[in-house]
Structure 1
Amino acid sequence: MASQTQPLSARLSAYANPARFLVFAARIISWFAAASAVLFAIGLYLAFFASPADYKQGEMVRIMYIHVPAAWLSMLIYASMAVSALGTLVWRHPLADAAQKAAAPLGAGFTFICLVTGSLWGKPTWGTWWVWDARLTSELVLLLIYLGLIALWQTLEETGLAGRAAAILTLVGVINLPIIKFSVDWWNTLHQPESVFRMDGPTLPASMLWPLFVMALAATLLFVTLHLMRTRNEILRRKLRRQTLLAAQGADGPNAARMLAS
């Protein structure tokens, strides 16, 4: 059995090599981008033309098809960053650090979209743009964590130190994910309870559930596409920086490299 699983694990670990990742990413980025575009076209058609309006909220319920995927991705991206943080701290793998850094702005963007669409949805539903609801507040905290991580990478110029510090902060911030998920169950909030992932099954009708799934899948593939592109660019940026430092060392000695790094 070990001989059968070893080749698979070896092939999977091979893609963790930054050089091989660059080749792999170049091959699949266009496929993910095309799949995301097709699914967005199908999902938007289903959301705005095939699914019915809500009997209480009317046409405003269609914000759900943007809001829910953005909320889903805001947590999924952070969870993926936590996995990358473990790779940085435990295995000290440069690809894990690059992947985590590349994901942070994307996570911040989807979290921002979640908060904005939630406010647009909340005004006609709750009568206000914002309330310090447990779900909304914990989602805002998630956005602040994303922004803090981005600022940390920008502040610390030494790549290894910045990666380790960001990894620790990321793992500390994981505690916010279950708070976001279960806030509607733990506290009395204005936010509606879970309507899709429930033990007794979804409460949404199929006419709304399928467009929502298609939009969520399209948004997830969009994230994968952008994340591959950003990770590839981060690896190339670091490679260029190393080559520049090596060239400076060869030309002017170690002191020039220290000056350039600072």
Structure 2
Amino acid sequence: MARNLPVDASITPPPQPGRNLHRFANPGRFLRLSGLVLPWVAALGLGLTLTGFAWGLFFAPADWQQGDAVRIMYVHVPSAWLASFGYLSLAVCSVLSLVWRHPLADLAAAEIGPVGAAFTALCLASGSLWGKPMWGAWWVWDARLTSVLVLFFLYLGHVALVRAFDDPQRGYRAGAILALVGVVNLPIIKFSVDWWNTLHQPSTIKFTSAPSMYVGMLWPLLLCALGFSFGFVAIVLMRTRAAVMERRIRGLLMARAQEAG
């Protein structure tokens, strides 16, 4: 009878990143964990957003130059941040799909696309409402505005590509490639106000220096940003959960049809 010999730790193969990632790709485990997290994330998103809106719209002071029109920023700035963050998360899912074949990455990317496009559209619409009283025009071909418009088209292109093929895997692959190519637009959005002489104001919140915004306006803006972020995550989780359950139901129906045949 063979004996259990001790394993030399020096020759034990190191854990592979792909295997560790696939531990979290089990659909059943994802549904259980997301079901526990989702109510808290949704409640935080709703509570923080309502608190930030109430604070910013009714208690925060108006800007000395822009007046009450500055209150549009409590919608515009968080949606602009999430437009870029959503595309970055889309690119991360694309890397997980192309490199490690992560089973849930394709589904998550397919659901991030429409949500990111909605936040980008909200950013463009609120920016247009803000720009009319400040610049006297609904739209100008400013570097920041144009690059965000390109981001919106990238989102729409990803949504269309993912759903354009009869074979879902081909759609996921094409969408992942487009998402990675479009990442080059993110630094253009971020630094366009520094690289070119634009109408859009520079960033008031930076990691390298203190914010150039009155604290009474900064705190409600941060609350709105956190609320929008939790809301973004909650919507993506709900959509991804629905996509996983839809795939499982479709698989069960196909298996039952094959047995009946």
Same fold, TM exceeding 0.5?
yes
Q: Alpha-carbon deviation of 1:12?
A: 7.3
- Correspondence 1:96 to 2:105: yes
TM-score (norm 2): 0.90
1:144 CA displacement: 0.5
Offset, 1:183: 0.5
CA contact (8 A) 1:15 1:24 kept: no
**Match of residue 210 from structure 2:** 201
Q: 1:185 aligns with which of 194, 209, 217?
A: 194
Please, which of 52, 55, 59 is the counterpart of residue 50 of structure 1? 59
RMSD: 2.1
Gaps of 5+ in 1: 1-5, 253-262
Counterpart of 2:115, as a letter, is: L
Deviations 1:144-184 (A, max 9, x none): 01111111122112121111111111000100100100010
1:67 matched to 2:76? The reply is: yes
- Of stretches 47-56 and 197-206 in structure 1, the one that deviates more from structure 2 is 197-206
Residue 90 (structure 2) aligns with: 81
Q: Does the Cα contact within 8 Å between 1:104 and 1:149 map onto a contact in 2?
A: yes
Distance 1:10 1:148 in 2: 31
Q: Which moved more, 1:204-213 or 1:231-240?
A: 231-240
Tell me the equivalent position of 2:9: none
CA displacement 1:130-156 (0-9 Å, x = unmatched): 001110000000100111111112211
1:227 aligns to 2:261 (yes or no):
no
Q: How does 1:123-134 map to 2 (within 5 A)?
A: 123-134=132-143
CA distance in 1, matches of 2:227, 2:198: 30
Report the equivalent of 1:260: none
Q: Deviations over 1:35-81 (max 9, x none)?
A: 11211221111101221000111000000010000000000011011
For the Cα contact (< 8 Å) 1:134–1:189, is it kept in 2? yes
Cα distance in 2 for partners of 1:62, 1:243 equals 51
Aligned pairs for 1:22-171 within 5 A: 22-171=31-180
Q: Determine the C-alpha separation between the residues in 2 that align with 1:131 and 1:248.
A: 56
Q: Distance in 1 between matches of 2:174 and 2:20?
A: 30
Structure 2, unmatched stretches of 5+, are 1-14
Q: Would you say the 8 A contact 1:57–1:125 is kept in 2? A: yes
Whose helix proportion is higher, 1 or 2? 1
Distance 1:147 1:241 in 2: 26
Residue 162 and residue 11 in structure 1: after superposition, are their counterparts in 2 closer, same or farther (change >3 A)?
Answer: closer
Q: Distance in 2 between matches of 1:156 and 1:242?
A: 19
Q: CA deviation at 1:248?
A: 3.2
Equivalent pairs counted in the alignment come to 248
CA distance in 1, matches of 2:248, 2:172: 16
For 1:89, the aligned partner's letter is: L
Deviates more, 1:192-201 or 1:43-52: 192-201
Q: How far off is 1:10 after superposition? A: 8.8
Name the TM-score, length of structure 1 as normaliser.
0.89
Instruction: Give the Å deviation of 1:34.
Output: 1.1
2:219 & 2:22 partners in 1: Cα distance? 35
Distance (Å, rounded) in 1 between the aligned partners of 2:229 and 2:223: 10
Rounded Cα–Cα distance in structure 1 between residues aligned with 2:207 and 2:23: 38
- Counterpart of 1:149, as a letter, is H
Offset of residue 200 of structure 1? 2.3
Q: Given residue 160 of structure 2, which amino acid in structure 1 is its aligned partner? A: A
Please state if 1:20 is matched with 2:20: no
Which entry has the higher C-alpha Rg, 1 or 2?
A: 2
